Each structure stands twice: as C-alpha cells, then as structure tokens.
C-alpha cells in the first residue's frame, strides 16, 4: 500500500487525486461548451503540455489567438461560469475518460484531440511523477508502482480503459487521435494534420517553423528560462498537481521503459494487458521505440 493513500479518492470507480473534487466532477454536466472549443485529452503523462505548446504556436501563426483554460476537472465548481466569458477558441485540457466529460462537448460537436503515448513509457513517467509529487501517494519502488499501474490503481485508472472509452465513442469524426511517438518522428507532418483537423491553414514552411518552435527540447529550455523569472508562488497553467518543471518535463523520450522494465516485468505487462491492447486498433498501433 502506498504511503499517503488518502491523497486518492474514487469517483464512478476511477481513482482521482483529492485535488479533483467530487463536487467538481459531479458539476461538469453543467459546463457550457461552444462549437469552437477544442478539448485536448490524454491519459496522464502522455504529452499534454507538448500538444498545448504546438497548439499555441499553431494558433499564433494562423488564427491569432486561443484561450488556454485550466484542466477541466481541476476547476472550482463555483467558478465554472467564469469560463463563459473567456474568448474563443478555448483549448481545454483534461485527463477524463470519455463518459465523464460534459455532455455538451458531444452535443455541440466540439473538436477533440486525443494524445496516445505508449503505456510502458507512460508508466515510467508516471512513476517518477508519483515519486516526487507531494500531492500524490508516495511510491518509492518501481516494481510496486508498475503493479499499481497494471491493475488500474493509479490516478485516472487503467490506461487501456481510458483509451477504449474514447476509441469506442461515437464522435462523428470530431476526434483526432495523435500518437506521441509519431510526433517525435515527424512533427512538421503532424502539425499540418492537426491544423487541417482544426480548419486552420499552414504551409509546409510554416509547419516546419512551428515544429521547430514546438520541439520538446525547445519547450523544456524555454520553460526553464521562464521559471527563473517567475515569482515563487507562480504555478504552471496546465498541470494543477505541481509547478515543478522537472516533473512536468522530464525526458520526453521514446523507449525509456527499457531502462526500467525487467524481463519478468515486461512479461507481466504482456500477460495482463497484451490481449486487451491487441483488441484495440489504436492501442495495437502504438510504437514502443523510435
């Protein structure tokens, strides 16, 4: 049992950090969506901040503005109405499974971008995030954390359940699935794919420039410079569980799982998740190294 397990509670069978209040999760059906909203969805530690950076640069190059909101589930229920006055398009990050997002996201046909990262690297990244984050239970041993991850006993539950909730949903073509590993291999190509999905236009040259400004290395170096200039009490816009840039932007590597998984642990992963991953078209196309 992890230390400080009281930092986790459950809603509809899914574990959440206690900083996500049950009142807020219950209030989400009152959220007023707009047709130009863009929901940026991912399982934790799958590249949310990177996609935010890409979208910032994309909108800056084309549409001129976007409004990045705090994560949907980390809002104060009493302040949900404040989102009504924000200028659009609103880019709204969330780690929620499909059945927990506000109903109007679907009825208003909002655009959804879902970022998929291979679950082995995701597990490693989450382990380091848990290990040093005071707002999450303390799990010091990698093997202990991996068991929790495989059993869906970490925040936001099972990786494969989360992915399947979005893969199997009827979204009328309004959901774009993007692989983290593909972004690493050919970012300019996917900048153009994302821009087309959002109804924006960029040339090949503009896509290359956006990709350059949005690279993981550029982003990490920039936020480190910004950290040196900001006030001590400042917090990061997207991550509501920590403002520690070392936890938010660790390595961003593809294939780092091989430095953590033993042969036995890899076999256990395949035994517990292999069949379910193979039954999902999206999950079975994940790359585990580049």
Q: In angstroms, rounded to a whole number, what is the distance separating the alpha carbons of residues 68 and 116?
A: 20
**190, 131 in Cβ contact below 8 A?**
no
Residue keyed to tokens 């350059």:
212
Please name the residues in contact with 107: beta carbons below 8 A apart, sequence gap of 6 or more.
33
| Residues 262-265: contacts with CB under 8 Å, at least 24 apart | 265/143, 265/146
Q: Are 91 and 40 in contact (CB under 8 A)?
A: yes
Identify the burial level of 268 via C-beta atoms within 10 angstroms of its C-beta, where 0-12 means exposed, 13-18 middle and 19 or more buried: middle
Q: How many CB atoms lie within 10 A of CB 134?
A: 10
Question: φ and ψ at 153, to 5 degrees?
Answer: -105, 25
Name which of 95, 231, 67 is nearest 158 in CA terms.
95
Catalytic residue among 49, 95, 162, 260: 95
Cα 48 vs. chain centroid, distance in angstroms? 4
Active site (annotated) includes residue 95: yes
Active site residues per annotation? 95
């Amino acid at each position: 049992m992890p230390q400080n397990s009281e930092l986790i509670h459950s809603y509809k069978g899914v574990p959440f950090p206690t900083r996500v209040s049950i009142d807020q999760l219950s209030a989400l059906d009152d959220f007023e969506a707009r047709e130009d909203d863009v929901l940026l969805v991912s399982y934790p530690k799958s590249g949310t901040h990177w996609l935010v950076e890409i979208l910032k640069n994309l909108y800056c190059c084309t549409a001129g503005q976007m409004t990045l909101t705090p994560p949907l589930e980390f809002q104060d229920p009493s302040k949900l109405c404040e989102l009504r006055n924000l200028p659009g398009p609103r880019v709204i990050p969330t780690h929620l499974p499909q059945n927990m997002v506000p109903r109007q996201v679907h009825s208003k046909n909002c655009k959804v971008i879902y970022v998929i990262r291979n679950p082995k690297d995701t597990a490693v990244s989450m382990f380091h995030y848990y290990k040093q984050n005071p707002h999450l239970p303390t799990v010091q041993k990698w093997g202990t954390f991996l068991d929790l991850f495989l059993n869906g006993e970490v925040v936001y539950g099972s990786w494969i359940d989360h992915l399947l909730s979005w893969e199997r949903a009827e979204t009328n073509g309004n959901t774009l699935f993007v692989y983290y590993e593909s972004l690493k291999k050919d970012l300019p190509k996917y900048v153009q794919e994302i821009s087309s999905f959002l109804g924006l236009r960029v040339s090949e040259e503009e896509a290359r420039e956006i990709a350059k400004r949005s690279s993981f290395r550029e982003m990490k170096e920039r936020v480190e410079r910004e950290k040196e200039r900001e006030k001590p009490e400042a917090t990061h816009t997207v991550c509501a569980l920590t403002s520690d840039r070392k936890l938010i932007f660790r390595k961003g590597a593809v294939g780092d799982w091989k430095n953590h998984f033993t042969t036995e642990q890899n076999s256990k992963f395949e035994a517990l998740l292999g069949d379910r991953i193979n039954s999902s078209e999206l999950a079975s196309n994940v790359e585990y190294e580049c």
